[in-house]
């Protein structure tokens, strides 16, 4: 039985590796050449302003954001939504900063031709700070979803859900999104460094409009995403 379980675990790891390789091959060649020939390049810059000065209540000693993870996709799908339960991928991202299995879900949607490209990059450590990365989209996949964990935290994150980079049939030159904290609804910890306290049953994702992000009578953002269109050469 021990050897059987070991073989099953090995097979699962191989399946994951094959899936990721397939995702990379599809997003880099097949889709760009066959499904979405009219590609547009964007650069997203994450400006993190979260600091002890902006959010002094119970501020952690190691403030950082996990690696960015998301995708460009069409209107048939979404990866997270305020007021709805978090998927396993969003749960893992918000609780641990892990990109898996959200990246697996994105890969499957690429195979189903609902997503175009995975967006994956580094995080910010420490905050405040900034990081930029480029990604591609197209007329058929004008929406972008992008998230990152607020760390340390029970299950808090910032991000955008299905942000449309196209207006009136034209891709915008620039779009700036102010980022507020969201709770994934999967851990009931109250402070940044609370011990694990799983929420059973899970609650819908919601914007945190109180402690520790409400200060001086206002809800204080944690940063911005700036999406800038890169001109064709």
Summarize pLDDT for 157-176 with one digit per residue, the tens.
999 999 999 999 999 999 99
Summarize pLDDT for 99-155 with one digit per residue, the tens.
999 999 999 999 999 999 999 999 999 999 999 999 999 999 999 999 999 999 999
Percent of the chain scoring above 90 in pLDDT = 82
Summarize pLDDT for 81-93 with one digit per residue, the tens.
999 999 999 999 9
Q: What is the CATH number of the domain that holds 40?
A: 2.60.40.2130
Domain count, the chain: 1
What is the pTM (predicted TM-score) of this model?
0.86
Residue 103's domain comprises 2-230
3-state secondary structure the chain: CHHHHHHHHHHHHHHHHHHHHHHHHHHHHHHHHHHCCCEEEEEEEEEECCCCCCCCCCCCCCCEECCCEEEEECCCCCCCCCCCCCCHHHHHHHHHCCCCCHHHHHHHHHHCCCEEEEEECCCECCCCEEEEEEEEEECCECEEEEEEEEECCCCEEEEEEEEECEECCEECCEEEEEECCEECCCECCCCCCCCCCECCCCCCCEECCCCCCEECCEECCCEEEEEEEECCC
């Amino acid at each position: 039985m021990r050897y059987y379980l070991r073989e099953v675990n090995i097979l699962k790891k191989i399946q994951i590796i094959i899936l990721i390789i397939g995702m990379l091959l599809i997003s880099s060649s097949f889709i760009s050449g066959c499904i979405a020939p009219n590609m547009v390049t964007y650069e997203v810059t994450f400006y993190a302003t979260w600091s002890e000065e902006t959010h002094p209540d119970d501020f952690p000693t190691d403030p950082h954001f996990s690696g960015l993870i998301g995708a460009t996709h069409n209107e048939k799908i979404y990866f997270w939504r305020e007021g709805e339960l978090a998927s396993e991928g969003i749960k893992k991202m918000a609780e641990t900063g892990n990109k898996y299995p959200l990246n697996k879900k994105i890969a499957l949607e690429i195979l189903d031709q609902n997503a175009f490209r995975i967006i994956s990059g580094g995080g910010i450590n420490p905050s405040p700070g900034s990081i930029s990365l480029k990604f591609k989209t197209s007329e058929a996949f004008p929406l972008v979803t992008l998230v990152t964990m607020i760390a340390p935290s029970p299950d808090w994150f910032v991000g955008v859900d299905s942000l449309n980079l196209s207006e009136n049939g034209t891709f915008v030159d620039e779009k700036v999104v102010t980022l507020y904290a969201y709770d994934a609804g999967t851990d009931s910890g109250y402070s940044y460094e609370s011990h694990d306290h799983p929420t059973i049953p899970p609650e819908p994702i919601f914007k945190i409009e109180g402690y520790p992000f409400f200060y001086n009578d206002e809800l204080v953002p944690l940063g911005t995403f700036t999406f800038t269109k890169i001109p064709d050469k």
